[in-house]
A and B are shown apart, each in its own frame.
Chain A
Amino acid sequence: MSGRHGFRRVVVANRGEIAARVIRTCRRLGIETVLTVSDADAGSPPARLADKTIRIGPAPAAASYLDADAIVSAAVAAGADAIHPGYGFLSENARLARACAAAGVVFIGPAPETLEATGDKLAAREHAVAAGLPVLPGRHVLPDAGAGEVAAAIGFPVLVKAAGGGGGRGLRVVRDPGELEHAVAVASAEAEAAFGDARVYLERYVSPARHVEVQLLGDGERVVHLGTRDCSVQRRYQKLIEEAPAPLLGDDLRGWLHAAAVAIGEHLRYRGAGTVEFLVDPEREEFYFLEVNARIQVEHPVTEAITGLDLVEEQIAIAEGRPLRVRQDAVTFAGHAIECRVNAEDPRHDFLPSPGTVTRAVFPSPPAVRVDTHIQAGATVPPHYDSLLAKVIAHGDGRGDALATLRGALDRCAVDGVITNLDMHRGLLADPEFGKGGVDTRYLERWLAREGTLADGMESAAYVLDDHE
Chain B
Amino acid sequence: MSDLELVDVSLRDGNQSLWGATGLRTAHVAQIAPVLNRVGFRALDFSSSTAMGVSVRTHRENPWDLLRLTRKAMPDTRLQFIGTGFRFISWERAHPEVMELVYTSLVNAGMDRFVVLDPTHDMDAVRETARIIKKAAGGTGAEVIGALTYTVSEAHDDAFYAGIARQYAECRDIDRAYVKDPAGILTPERARTLIPAVLAELGGKPLELHAHASLGLSPLTCLVAAELGVRVLQVGCGALGNGTSLPDAERLVANLRASGHTVDVDDRLLATVARYFDGVAEAEGLPAGQPREFDAAFMHHQVAGGVMTTLRRQLAELGMEHRFGAVMEEIGLVRAELGYPIMVTPFPQMVIGQALANVLSGGARYDQVPDQVIRYVLGKFGKPTMPVEPSVLDRILSRPRAAELAEEPPPLSVPELRHRFGERVGDEELLLRFGMPGGEVDGMISGPPAATHYNPDTQPVLRLLRELAGRPPAAELTVDKPGFRLTLKGGDRD
Tell me whether B269 is interfacial, beta carbon within 8 Å.
yes
Would you list 5 pairs from A and B whose C-beta atoms are within 8 A, ordered by A residue?
A: A1-B78, A3-B264, A8-B266, A29-B34, A29-B38
By a beta-carbon cutoff of 8 Å, the part of chain A in contact with chain B is 1-6, 8, 28-32, 313, 317, 322, 325
- Chain A residues within an 8 Å CB radius of B5: 2
Chain-A contact segment, one of B19-27, B69-77, B288-296: B69-77
A1 to B35 Cα, complex, angstroms: 16
Decide: A6 near B2, CB < 8 A? Known: A1-B78, A32-B268, A322-B75: no
What string of 1s and 0s marks CB contacts (under 8 Å) between B31-75 and chain A?
100110111101100000000000000000000000000001001
Cβ-defined contact, B76 with A5, below 8 A:
yes
The one of B43, B75, B266 that contacts A4, using a Cβ cutoff of 8 Å: B266
A31 to chain B, nearest CB (A): 7
Closest Cβ of chain B to A21, distance in Å, is 15
Q: List residues 261-280 of chain B with CB under 8 A from any CB of chain A.
A: 264-266, 268-269, 272
A5, A30, A322: the one within 8 Å of B272 (CB) = A30
Inter-subunit contact B35/A29 (CB<8 Å): yes
How far apart sit A322 and B31, CA to CA, in the bound complex (Å)? 21
A30 engages B264 (CB within 8 Å) = no
Q: Determine whether the beta carbon of A6 is less than 8 Å from that of B40.
A: no
Q: Please pick, from B35, B78, B265, the residue contacting A30 in the complex, using a CB distance under 8 A.
A: B35
Name the CB-closest residue of A to B141. A1
Q: Given known contacts A3-B2, A6-B76, is B264 in contact with A31 (CB within 8 Å)? A: no
Closest beta carbon of chain B to A222's beta carbon, Å: 16
| Chain B residues whose CB sits within 8 angstroms of the CB of A2 once the complex forms | 2, 5, 40, 42, 264
Task: From the candidates B2, B40, B72, B268, name the one contacting A5 in the complex (CB within 8 A).
Answer: B40
| Distance from B440 Cβ to chain A, minimum over Cβ atoms (Å) | 27
Q: Is the interface of B mostly helix, strand, loop or mixed?
A: mixed
Kindly state the separation between the CA atoms of A2 and B40 in the bound complex, as whole angstroms.
6
Q: What residues on A are CB-neighbors of B76 within 8 Å?
A: 1, 5-6
Minimum distance in angstroms from B66 CB to a CB of chain A: 16
Q: Compute how far the CA of A325 lies from the CA of B76 in the bound complex, rounded to whole angstroms.
A: 12
Contact of B78 with A4 in the complex, beta carbons under 8 Å: no
A29–B268 alpha-carbon span in the complex (Å): 13
Which range holds the interface residue count of chain B? 20 to 34
Which residue of the partner chain, among A1, A4, A313, contacts B264 with CB atoms under 8 Å?
A4
Judge whether A31 and B72 touch: CB under 8 Å: no
Chain A minimum-CB-distance residue to B72: A325
* CB nearest neighbor in B for A8: B266
Cβ–Cβ < 8 Å partners of A29 in chain B: 34-35, 38
Residues of B within 8 A of A (CB): 2, 5, 31, 34-35, 37-40, 42-43, 72, 75-78, 264-266, 268-269, 272
17 more CB-based (< 8 A) A-B contacts, given A3-B264, A6-B38: A1-B42, A2-B5, A2-B40, A3-B40, A4-B38, A4-B39, A4-B264, A5-B38, A5-B77, A28-B34, A30-B38, A30-B39, A30-B272, A313-B34, A317-B75, A322-B75, A325-B75
Closest B residue to A29 using CB positions = B34
- Determine the distance from Cα of A5 to Cα of B77 in the docked complex, in whole angstroms: 9
In the bound complex, CA of A325 to CA of B110 (Å): 13
Chain A residues with CB below 8 A from B37, complex form: 5-6, 30
Cβ–Cβ < 8 Å partners of B38 in chain A: 4-6, 8, 29-31
CA distance A165 to B388 in the complex (A): 86
A30 and B40 contact, Cβ closer than 8 Å, known pairs A3-B2, A322-B75: no
Report the separation of the CA atoms of residues A429 and B5 in the bound assembly, to the nearest whole angstrom: 57
Complex: A6 Cα to B35 Cα, angstroms: 11
Alpha-carbon gap, A31 to B78, bound state (A): 20
Residues of A within 8 A of B264 (CB): 2-4
A8, B269: Cα distance in complex, Å: 9
Residues of A within 8 A of B72 (CB): 325
- Say whether A1 contacts B272, CB under 8 Å: no
Which residues of the other chain, B, contact A325 by a CB distance below 8 angstroms? Answer: 72, 75
Contact A4 B34, CB 8 Å, known A30-B272, A322-B75, A325-B75: no
CB neighbours (8 Å) of A28 from chain B are 31, 34-35
Residues of B within 8 Å of A30, CB to CB, are 34-35, 37-39, 266, 269, 272
Q: Which 4 A-B pairs have the closest CB atoms?
A: A30-B35, A5-B76, A4-B40, A3-B264
> Which residue among B2, B38, B39, B264 has the maximum number of chain A CB atoms within 10 Å of its CB?
B38
Which residues of A have CB within 8 Å of B268? 32
Q: Closest CB-CB distance, A9 to chain B, in whole Å?
A: 10
Q: Within 8 Å CB of A32, what residues of B?
A: 268
Are A4 and B42 in contact, with the CB atoms below 8 A? no
- Report how far A30 CA is from B270 CA in the complex, Å: 10
Q: How far is the CA of A8 from the CA of B72 in the complex (A)?
A: 19
Most-contacted residue by chain B among A28, A30, A31 (CB, 10 A): A30
A313 (CB) vs chain B CBs: closest residue: B34
CA A317 – CA B78 in complex, angstroms?
18
Q: Nearest CB to that of A322 among chain B residues?
A: B75
A246 to chain B, nearest CB (A): 26
Interface contact A4-B35, CB-CB below 8 Å: no
Contacts of B77 in A (CB 8 A): 1, 5
Tell me the smallest distance from the CB of B174 to a CB of chain A, in Å: 18
A5 CA / B74 CA spacing, docked (Å): 10
**Cα separation A5 to B34 with both chains bound (whole Å):** 11
Complexed CA–CA distance, A201 and B488 (Å): 61
Instruction: Note all chain B residues with C-beta closer than 8 A to A5.
Output: 37-38, 40, 76-77
**CA distance in complex: A2, B5 (Å):** 7
Closest beta carbon of chain B to A29's beta carbon, Å: 4
Question: Whose C-beta in chain A lies nearest to the C-beta of B74?
Answer: A5
User: CA–CA, A70 to B34, complex, Å?
Assistant: 31
Of the listed residues B42, B72, B269, the one surrounded by the most CB atoms of chain A closer than 10 A to its CB is B269
Nearest chain B CB to A304 CB, angstrom units: 13
For B78, the chain A residues whose CB sits under 8 A away are 1
CB nearest neighbor in B for A25: B34
Least CB distance from B122 to A in Å reads 31
- The smallest beta-carbon distance between B199 and chain A, in angstroms, is 20
For A5, A29, A32, A325, the residue with the greatest tally of chain B CB atoms inside 10 Å of its CB is A5
